[in-house]
């Protein structure tokens, strides 16, 4: 890994209730404080290096076999984060636990418990997006939850494409067709020479066939990440017209101030 600690932004994707008003499956009841009965939000939290891309979210990913948990992350018991245990432990030393150094686990969850959940993703154009499987997630990095921006991340585009094209893959993970078919690439950043959906177009033109096409995906990542950061221009949001490099810290701060994101280091 790199030299110093990596500075991520944790994006808070709020888990939405089902038609009966309750959170689905194993998350039922986590949105009520056990002692006071007060409502509290439950968030899937995704670690990203690109907070300025959140306008382009189409879904959120977990590792189906991954071990996750729901953690009380506040001194007041007013917020619950769903993430890996490893990241909850790190968070407990960063002000995200009732007591310093002591993660407070409320429930143990597997990735499969989370697949198909509907969440509200901050800054996204889509009102609700769904939790889908990504088989290349490393549980040893970030929170094990990855928010998906297929316009600018080839892993995200390839994995969403796999689920769109392969009914058997959807079936295996209990994903309904509408959870992927209703979501298209959103144009959020223009990179001179690479266009307005740089990662997605490169996946198509280079013939990326699936999320397991590691060599091509790595090449696309390298090209789009550097070019996007230094030459890309925001097409949408509060920083429309600004360069990505300039927009990133502004949007990060806006989200943190609004309570839709928080800083996270590892
Ligand atoms: B990035 P680094 Cl638009 N396993 O967010 C696999 N990938 C993970 C992960 C995990 N446990 N945790 C985070 N990530 C992804 C957005 C994005 C990202 C865009 C473009 C490039 C990009 C939307 N997905 O990252 O290994 C997350 O995807 C390119 C590096 O710590 C996170 O930022 O350097 C990035 O990888 C963190 O990667």
Distance 48 CA to ligand 1 centre (A): 5
255: in domain: yes
**Mean pLDDT (the chain, rounded):** 96
Does some domain include residue 232?
A: no
Protein residue closest via CA to atom 34 of ligand 1: 49
User: In this predicted complex, what is the ipTM?
Assistant: 0.99
Q: How many domains does the chain have?
A: 1
Task: Establish if 174 belongs to a structural domain.
Answer: yes
Res 77 pLDDT > 90 = no
Lookup: tokens for 127? 């009102």
Residue 231 lies in a domain: no
Supply the range of the domain harboring residue 88.
7-186+250-265
Q: Quick check: is 51 in a domain?
A: yes
| Mean per-residue pLDDT, 28-35 | 94
Q: pLDDT digit string (tens) for 200-232? A: 999 999 999 999 999 999 999 999 998 999 999
Q: 238-257 burial, b for 16+ CB within 10 Å, e for fewer? A: ebeebebeebbebbbebbee
CATH value at residue 75 = 3.90.740.10
- What's residue 48's pLDDT? 98
User: Ligand 1 — pocket residues by CB below 6 A?
Assistant: 6, 47-50, 53, 137-138, 141-142, 144, 146-149, 152-153, 156, 221, 225
In the chain, % of residues over pLDDT 90? 94
pLDDT in tens, 152-178: 999 999 999 999 999 999 999 999 999
Backbone angles phi, psi at 166, to 5 degrees: -120, 95
Distance 53 CA to ligand 1 centre (A): 11
CA atoms lying within 13 Å on the CB side of residue 77:
12
Ligand 1 mean position to 20 CA, how many Å? Answer: 34
Question: Dihedral, CA atoms, 145, 147, 152, 157, nearest 10 degrees?
Answer: 80
Ligand 1: residue of 3, 50, 255 to mutate (most ligand atoms within 8 A of CB) is: 50
Q: If you measure from the C-alpha of residue 146 to the centroid of ligand 1, how many angstroms do you get, rounded to a whole number? A: 7
Residue 72 falls within a domain, yes or no? Answer: yes
**Is 258 inside a domain boundary?**
yes
Cβ contacts of 204 within 8 Å, gap of 6 or more: none
Q: d(Cα 147, Cα 145) in Å, to the nearest integer?
A: 7
CA distance 186 to 196: 9
Phi/psi of residue 172, nearest 5 degrees: -55, -35
pLDDT of 69 above 90: yes
State the pTM of this model: 0.97
Each residue's pLDDT tens digit, 99-125: 999 999 999 999 999 999 999 999 999
């Amino acid at each position: 890994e790199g030299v110093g600690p990596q500075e991520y932004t944790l994006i808070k994707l709020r888990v939405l209730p089902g038609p009966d008003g309750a959170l689905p499956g194993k998350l039922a009841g986590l949105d009520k404080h056990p002692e006071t009965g007060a409502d509290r939000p439950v968030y899937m939290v995704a670690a990203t290096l690109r907070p300025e891309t959140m306008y382009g979210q189409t879904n959120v990913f977990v590792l189906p076999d991954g071990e996750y948990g729901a953690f009380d992350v506040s001194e007041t018991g007013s917020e619950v984060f769903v993430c890996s245990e490893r990241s909850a432990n790190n968070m407990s030393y960063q002000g995200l636990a009732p007591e310093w150094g002591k993660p407070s686990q409320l429930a143990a969850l597997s990735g499969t418990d989370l697949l198909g959940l509907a969440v509200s993703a901050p800054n996204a154009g889509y009102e609700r997006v769904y939790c889908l499987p990504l088989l290349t997630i490393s549980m040893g990095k970030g929170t094990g939850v990855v928010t998906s921006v297929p316009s600018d991340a080839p892993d995200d585009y390839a994995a969403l494409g796999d689920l769109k094209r392969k009914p058997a893959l959807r079936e295996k993970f209990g994903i309904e067709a509408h959870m992927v078919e209703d979501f298209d690439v959103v144009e959020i950043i223009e990179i001179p020479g690479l266009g307005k959906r740089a990662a997605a177009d490169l996946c198509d033109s280079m013939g990326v066939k699936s999320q397991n096409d590691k060599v091509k995906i790595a090449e696309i990542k390298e090209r789009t990440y550097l070019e996007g950061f230094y030459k890309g221009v925001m097409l949408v949001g509060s920083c429309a017209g600004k360069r990505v490099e300039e927009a990133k810290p502004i949007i990060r701060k806006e989200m943190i101030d609004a309570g839709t994101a928080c800083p996270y280091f590892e």
